Structure 1
Amino acid sequence: MTGAEMLERFQRQGSERLARIYPDEQVKDLLDQIVAELQSFSDTAATEPINRLWSEQDLILISYGDSICAAGLAPVQVLCSFLEQHLSGIVNTVHLLPFFPYSSDDGFAVVDYQSVNPRLGDWGEIAAINRNFDLMVDLVINHVSSQHRWFQEYLHDEAPGKNYFITPPKDADLSHVVRPRQSPLLTEVETNRGSAKVWTTFSADQVDTNFSNPDVLLEYIKVLLFYLSQGARFIRLDAVAFLWKEWGTSCLNLPQTHEIVKLLRNIIETVAPKSVLLTETNLPHQQNLSYFGDSNEAHMVYQFSLSPLLLHGLYRGTSLYLCEWARSRCNAPPGCTFLNFTASHDGVGLRPLEGLLPQGEIDLLLHGMEKFGGLVSYKANDDGSRSPYEINIGYFDALKGTWLGDDCWQLARFLLAQTLMIGLRGIPALYLHSLLATPNDHDGVAQSGRARSINRHRWQQQELEELLDDQQSNQAKVFFELRRRLQIRRQQPAFHPDGRQEILHLGEYLFGFWRFSPDGKQKLFAVHNLTEQPRNLYVDGALDGQFNGRWVGLLTGEIVTSERAVIELPPYHVLWLAQQQE
């Protein structure tokens, strides 16, 4: 399909989408402006067809630009050097968390979408990472910093920003609005027109933009195209579920929001068909899945339920809830996939557990995480009460023990968690601090006053390199073993995100599954002992006759044959078995 044909297709798609969002009289002019932007972006040259957007070799690293620092060097330059030295050929994509000028929330209150925070580096340093790694870039689409030019224009009654924000009428019914914070929904500000109350879902410094004004949508389309022009292959839509507001509703997951996400996918498919759209919707499982649409919305959504379910399974020593969820609710539609992760820059979300784990089990988990040094953040409910929203803790320290207390199995338990995650169907993403077994940063919390700082440590390069050189440090043990396992994973076609997955019932203490390559040439069996006790896997009963011939353990090298009736699994052991070719 030529570029001209793709633009023609977009005009049809865009007209339908916009008609579901805006009044008829606004649609044609807005569509013409969007098409003009796309024509400026693309030279309408013929585009090669895209067979697959991903493969088993895709692995994403999540990091702030200043997660590793060294005196006299731009932090992004230090990160680039670390990645090239230690992770080249293993990680192929870097999710560089917001690297723009900001006023709060560690980058998610953006002051300027098209500039690099000079404290981190410049576009040259970003391009240096992009030379060896694909880039994931955040489009922080729901709100801007109160210092952003648009909001300053709003305060001074100047165009265009004076019409870019939301000031509900006094009689607006906001009682049903769902939000993840306890701060006021509306923030009073002084403008040239007098006092006004603006919509602030996340904080007083993060002011929601008004997408009912089509000019706002056009502004964000320009930002999206700019990121694509700077080499972004993955676009992450931050907090997108809160985008559209209507009085009397929850203002969450509204139909207009879904149409805007679909429109952005249509744009990407038109001008950058090798790029991937990812939605960040930290919500109950089924709401999160809704952003796949009918395989026409997000290419990829976060597997938010995995992190807390896996943490609970290892804390309690049971696979029951994890297995039930994975068997019944862990399927992506054709052409879509999950982003699997255990930890990120945020905490371990609790909303994704709704309907999956009894409240008593959640309460036990919260109590245990607080004993392991974690914190619990809360959200406000529409009845005036509050409820736990996320656990703030480093994932390494979250696994220092079980409901029975601290023990000696932290390393093995943590390695199992990461290995189970990278084996599941989808694209794995590892937070830099998981790779480095970073402990809870209580000093960071004390300095910032924010609970999330517990998992946003800034390493000094020299200290980190010394720890990695020390074979007895937790950092070296975790980093080099995970790197070895990731290297093995990349070589297995059965781990292709489009490969079939079959979750097995192996009893209360084991979690296992089959993975199959898309071409059917490789099948791989993975089993995990979620307890501190040795466990036996009885091959004939568990694997229903699929286990024939000679198999090799990819991680541990053992040979297993179908004549071996029982496989012995030490505490927190992981076994990846692939059939040995004749």
Structure 2
Amino acid sequence: MLTQKDQKNLRSKLDNIYKIFLSKKDIDYFENEIVQIIRQFNKKNLKKKKSISEKTSLVICYADSVYSERKKSIKVFKSFYQKKFKNYFNTIHFLPFYPSSSDSGFAVKDHYKVENKLGNWFDIKNISKSSNVMADMVINHSSARGFWFKNFLKKKEPGKDYFLTVDSKYNTSKVVRPRDHKLLKKINIFKKSDYLWRTFSPDQIDLNFRNPSVLIEFIKIMIHLINYGVTIFRLDAIAYLWKEKGTKCINLKQTHEIIKLLRNITNLLNVQTTIITETNLPEKENLSYFGKNDEANWIYNFSLPPLLIHAFLFENSSFLNKWSKNLPNTKNENCYLNFIASHDGIGIRPTEGLLNEKTLNNFLKRLKKNGSKFSYRKVQNKVKKVYEANITVFDALKKSDYDPQGEFYLERYVSSHAIMISFEGIPAIYFNSMFGTSNDEAKFIITGNNRDVNRYKWNLKNITNKLKANNTKQSIFYNKLCNLLSIRRKQKAFHPNASRLNLDFGKKIYGFKRISKDKKQTIICITNLSSKIQKTKIDKNYLEMKNLMSSKIIIENKQFLILKPFETIWLTNTQK
């Protein structure tokens, strides 16, 4: 039941967003609409709670990451997941499965539909009975060929006034861009010339959140998704949501207030849900989306992938070490979502302030040698900067200046994932990373879209046969990563909120300590970042610990730990 205090909190957020634009009467109307949405939902649903633990891990995929001609893709994925993934993952992040006109699902035509070739809402609901389901709310923009935009052009609901238009005098000089295409598109509509705002592409038109009806629409979409089993929401491109002339139009106060409102609403629902903000930005800006423990439940740990890959390619932990030493520990139930690969690429903006210009240029040169394409963003004075490196993790780590033949490609790959899986937070592994997938050059030749190099789709029969054989690349990578996830699930010190302390072993080795919430288990995570054997002096207490990895630790003179090239060890004071 909603209390007066609950309603007061909701009203406070609405006032913070809309007080200078709307009358009290209008805000009353929208407040009442939100209250009714919550009450109606709670009438139909009993209280359900869920909690995170060391068993919490995500697989990131498209609904057709694995496909067959015989069945709809979601059913195919469910069958594959049950056989190959359910023992290692408890959560599936399905990238957008709505009808879409471009950008691999992120130009949504209708949020209330599932793309027919993928399946239907009941397929999503069925998967949610045995696994947590995470879905995207593509909240910043919608398709230029979608249901809402067609209605917008006809002044019909829903869609009327849903899209952001500005006039020719609107000051966009300070706008921070994530892409390099022209931001505004002139259109003649409703007997006047206006400009449509297009942050991400000409086919993705930004929504107008100054119109509260747009916000209400997304609250309804959230409820609709919960009704079909989705309990984790990824707020795509959320940082760009609110625009004000003469500002950077990113990370604005109203954007943060909208996230607070959505968090507030989810806290009042009987079904417990989780909000994740997707903000591919410099570290300080990214961390701001935790708010005061009142915004995102989880945030993507965007600085981890580039720093981790850099450390392995240049056999130097200095930048990774400095960053992780300063990274704040999370508060209870607020988490970092750790990843190395996603459906896009390796974000470069999160390295701002962490890698100097010379180091970054050398990093990008090495990635280019390894086969990376690059996506750019536009900055002031028409200068273009790299926004992300488009490359699979396998290709990114395949060769380095220190290992030009790629002799240790497997060891580098496994140890980079070992660090990510053991780091404070929740691990998320991209579907293709489970099999060490290379760049999809064939798809890139067809589409010309840089991001498509990392979006390979597997034929069910093909991947099943490859996993059956013991000596295939896919089988080897799959078994190695499954082993890491299997070990993680049994360790209390790998709880997402278990404390993390940095350990300094010099620039060739990276290490940290995890301590369980009940203080009973300690795990020392140590990785040799180099292609040479490393020797390091360690605390004598560590010598009595057992290695959770199968290999026996090598000790010299009862005080030096010997590490093979790119070896990772997890030393624990308790064995499970």
TM-score bin, normalised by smaller chain: over 0.9
Matched, 1:547 2:546: no
SS at match of 1:42: helix
Paired position in structure 2 for 1:453: 452
Q: 1:125, CA displacement in angstroms?
A: 2.0
Q: 1:33, CA displacement in angstroms?
A: 0.8
Distance change in 2, residues 1:44/1:230 (3 Å): closer
Q: 1:161, CA displacement in angstroms?
A: 2.1
Distance change in 2, residues 1:455/1:44 (3 Å): closer
Paired position in structure 2 for 1:153: 151
Pick the aligned partner of 1:11 from 7, 13, 34.
7
Paired position in structure 1 for 2:565: 571
Rounded Cα–Cα distance in structure 2 between residues aligned with 1:161 and 1:93: 33
Q: 1:45, CA displacement in angstroms?
A: 7.4
Q: Greater CA deviation, 126-135 or 376-385?
A: 126-135
Q: Is the 8 A contact 1:65 1:97 kept in 2?
A: yes
Q: What letter is aligned with 2:518?
A: D
Q: Greater CA deviation, 164-173 or 174-183?
A: 164-173
Rounded Cα–Cα distance in structure 2 between residues aligned with 1:358 and 1:489: 34
Pick the aligned partner of 1:20 from 16, 20, 30.
16
Listed as ranges, the matches of 1:140-289 within 5 Å are 140-191=138-189, 193=191, 195-272=193-270, 274-289=272-287
Listed as ranges, the matches of 1:97-116 within 5 Å are 97-116=95-114
Rounded Cα–Cα distance in structure 2 between residues aligned with 1:250 and 1:310: 29
Aligned length, in residue pairs:
571
Q: Is the 8 A contact 1:306 1:342 kept in 2?
A: yes
Paired position in structure 2 for 1:41: 41
Q: Is the 8 A contact 2:554 2:563 kept in 1?
A: no
Q: Is the 8 A contact 1:10 1:267 kept in 2?
A: no
Q: 1:159, CA displacement in angstroms?
A: 3.8
Paired position in structure 2 for 1:503: 502
Distance change in 2, residues 1:195/1:581 (3 Å): closer
Rounded Cα–Cα distance in structure 1 between residues aligned with 2:54 and 2:98: 31
SS at match of 2:60: strand
SS at match of 2:114: coil
Matched, 1:93 2:91: yes
Distance change in 2, residues 1:546/1:260 (3 Å): farther
SS at match of 1:202: coil
In structure 2, runs of 5+ residues without a counterpart are none
Q: Is the 8 A contact 1:166 1:198 kept in 2?
A: yes
Question: What per-residue deviation string (whole Å, max 9, x for no partner) do you get for residues 153-201 of structure 1?
Answer: 2212334423111111221111011121111111233545355321111
Paired position in structure 2 for 1:527: 526
Rounded Cα–Cα distance in structure 2 between residues aligned with 1:218 and 1:363: 44
Rounded Cα–Cα distance in structure 2 between residues aligned with 1:265 and 1:431: 26
Distance change in 2, residues 1:533/1:118 (3 Å): same
SS at match of 1:162: coil
Rounded Cα–Cα distance in structure 1 between residues aligned with 2:535 and 2:508: 10
Listed as ranges, the matches of 1:169-568 within 5 Å are 169-191=167-189, 193=191, 195-272=193-270, 274-404=272-402, 405-540=404-539, 546-547=541-542, 550-558=544-552, 564-568=558-562
SS at match of 1:18: helix
Matched, 1:31 2:26: no
Distance change in 2, residues 1:469/1:160 (3 Å): closer
Rounded Cα–Cα distance in structure 2 between residues aligned with 1:559 and 1:571: 13
Distance change in 2, residues 1:429/1:297 (3 Å): same
SS at match of 1:11: helix
Q: What letter is aligned with 2:268?
A: T
Q: 1:347, CA displacement in angstroms?
A: 0.7
Rounded Cα–Cα distance in structure 2 between residues aligned with 1:354 and 1:53: 34
Rounded Cα–Cα distance in structure 1 between residues aligned with 2:317 and 2:239: 31
Q: Is the 8 A contact 2:109 2:148 kept in 1?
A: no
Q: What letter is aligned with 2:410?
A: L
Question: What per-residue deviation string (whole Å, max 9, x for no partner) do you get for residues 511-553 of structure 1?
Answer: 111101101111111100011101112123xxxx6537x3211
SS at match of 2:305: helix
% identical equivalent positions:
36
Q: Is the 8 A contact 2:344 2:454 kept in 1?
A: yes
Paired position in structure 1 for 2:69: 71
Q: What letter is aligned with 1:310?
A: L
Q: Is the 8 A contact 1:295 1:335 kept in 2?
A: no
Q: Is the 8 A contact 1:292 1:333 kept in 2?
A: no
Q: 1:239, CA displacement in angstroms?
A: 0.3
Q: Is the 8 A contact 2:167 2:193 kept in 1?
A: no
Q: 1:270, CA displacement in angstroms?
A: 0.6
SS at match of 1:521: coil
Q: Is the 8 A contact 1:156 1:192 kept in 2?
A: no
Question: What per-residue deviation string (whole Å, max 9, x for no partner) do you get for residues 230-271 of structure 1?
Answer: 111211100000000100000100000000000000111110
In structure 1, runs of 5+ residues without a counterpart are none
Question: What per-residue deviation string (whole Å, max 9, x for no partner) do you get for residues 44-64 of structure 1?
Answer: 87747x6x7311110000000
Rounded Cα–Cα distance in structure 1 between residues aligned with 2:316 and 2:378: 31
Q: 1:333, CA displacement in angstroms?
A: 3.7
SS at match of 2:160: helix
Q: Is the 8 A contact 2:554 2:562 kept in 1?
A: no
In the superposition, the TM-score normalised over structure 2's length comes to: 0.96
Rounded Cα–Cα distance in structure 2 between residues aligned with 1:578 and 1:84: 31
Cα-Cα RMSD: 1.9
Rounded Cα–Cα distance in structure 2 between residues aligned with 1:152 and 1:225: 24
